[in-house]
């Protein structure tokens, strides 16, 4: 079976010390390199994990990067500085940022362009709310998110973008979508992304993934991996997910 991509999104849940401890446990636990693992710590822990700890069995990703390359933008963090300090990936469009920081499709389009230009690969999150799903509009809503943020993007390689399908109502809620429905949505996303970008893009599933349900998602044909939040904070559980 082809290697899957397992992404850990630690959000703002750990101290720097806890991040370093968890990173070294994960690094040890996945030394068989069964799947490709990307760990996304907070901005401050990222260079310490990459440079000081020298973790080698996973790649590093940031949880956000700025719209501009360089600007009078107090408090923002540039994609190129993240790259300089060891990040290979950046998560953009996570629903928590869409909601809390009011990031819309247009802002995300600019962020994606800037991150790619800096040489980062983008993990772009899309997903519908419960009301969109209940109204039968989940797929049209997501297609619009994809079109608005990816249209006319010149992508050099198909691996420069990964799309994470994360139904908002499944994030941190303990409620997961039926793996067959997630597979159907991932297929729709893959088809739409190919129409827009002219390339075959990998699609991950995220939202209340844990050690028990992870294999049900990973065996789906259209799902190339997982974006894991809560369960990525527990070393043993996350290592078990990575070693699926
Ligand atoms: P969760 O988070 O696994 O805790 O639901 C996923 C995410 O927010 O990316």
Concatenate the DSSP letters of all residues of 127-171 into one string.
---HHHHHTT-HHHHHHHHHHHHHTT---S-GGGEEEEE--GGGT
Q: Which atom number of ligand 1 is nearest to the Cα of residue 210?
A: 3
Ligand 1 pocket (Cβ < 6 Å) reads: 9, 166, 171-172, 206-209, 227-231
Query: Are 139 and 107 spatial neighbours (Cβ–Cβ below 8 Å)?
Result: no
Strand-strand pairing, 225-228 and 202-206: parallel
Average pLDDT, rounded, for the chain:
96
- Segment 113-172, tens digit of pLDDT: 999 999 999 999 999 999 999 999 999 999 999 999 999 998 999 999 999 999 999 999
At residue 72 the predicted structure's pLDDT band, cuts being 50, 70 and 90, is: very high
| pLDDT at position 235 over 80 | yes
180 Cα: distance to centroid of ligand 1 (angstroms): 19
| pLDDT at position 1 over 80 | no
pTM for this one? 0.97
72 Cα: distance to centroid of ligand 1 (angstroms): 32
For position 2, what pLDDT does the model report? Answer: 86
CA torsion 70→73→79→83, rounded to 10°?
80
Q: Which atom number of ligand 1 is nearest to the Cα of residue 7?
A: 9
> Ligand 1, atom 7: nearest CA belongs to which residue?
229
Q: Which atom number of ligand 1 is nearest to the Cα of residue 232?
A: 3
> Ligand 1, atom 2: nearest CA belongs to which residue?
229
159 Cα: distance to centroid of ligand 1 (angstroms): 22
Q: Which residues are catalytic?
A: 94, 166
| pLDDT at position 103 over 90 | yes
130 Cα: distance to centroid of ligand 1 (angstroms): 16
Average pLDDT over residues 46-57: 87
Least Cα distance to 152 among 195, 98, 96 occurs for 195
- Strand, helix or coil at 90? strand
Q: Which atom number of ligand 1 is nearest to the Cα of residue 173?
A: 5
- Segment 172-200, tens digit of pLDDT: 999 889 999 999 999 999 999 999 999 99
73 Cα: distance to centroid of ligand 1 (angstroms): 28
What distance in Å separates the CA atoms of residue 173 and residue 231, rounded to the nearest whole number? 12
For position 125, what pLDDT does the model report? Answer: 98
> Ligand 1, atom 6: nearest CA belongs to which residue?
229
For position 52, what pLDDT does the model report? Answer: 78
Choice from 7, 99, 210, 229 to test ligand 1 binding pocket (greatest atom count within 8 A of CB): 229
| pLDDT at position 107 over 80 | yes
Kindly state the helix (H) or strand (E) to which residue 226 belongs, with its residue range.
strand 225-228
């Amino acid at each position: 079976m082809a290697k899957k991509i397992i992404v850990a999104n630690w959000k703002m849940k750990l101290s720097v010390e806890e991040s370093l401890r968890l990173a070294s446990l994960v690094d040890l636990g996945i030394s068989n390199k069964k799947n490709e693992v990307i760990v996304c710590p907070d901005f401050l822990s990222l260079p310490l994990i990459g440079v000081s700890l020298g973790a080698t069995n996973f790649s590093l990703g940031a949880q956000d990067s700025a719209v501009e390359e360089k600007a009078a933008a107090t408090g923002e963090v540039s994609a190129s500085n993240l790259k300089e300090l060891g990040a290979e990936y950046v998560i953009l469009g996570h629903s928590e940022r869409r909601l809390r920081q009011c990031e819309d499709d247009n802002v995300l389009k600019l962020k994606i362009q800037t991150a790619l230009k800096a040489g980062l690969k983008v993990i772009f999150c899309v997903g519908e709310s419960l009301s969109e799903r209940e109204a039968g509009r989940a797929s049209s809503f997501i297609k619009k998110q994809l079109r608005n943020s990816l249209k006319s993007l010149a992508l050099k390689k198909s691996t420069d973008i990964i799309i994470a399908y994360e139904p908002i109502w499944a994030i941190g809620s303990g409620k997961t979508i039926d793996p067959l429905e997630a597979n159907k949505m991932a297929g729709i996303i893959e088809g739409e992304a190919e129409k827009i970008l002219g390339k075959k893009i990998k699609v991950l599933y995220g939202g209340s993934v844990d050690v028990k349900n992870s294999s049900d998602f990973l065996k789906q044909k259209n799902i190339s991996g997982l974006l894991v939040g809560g369960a990525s904070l527990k070393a043993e559980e996350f290592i078990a997910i990575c070693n699926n």
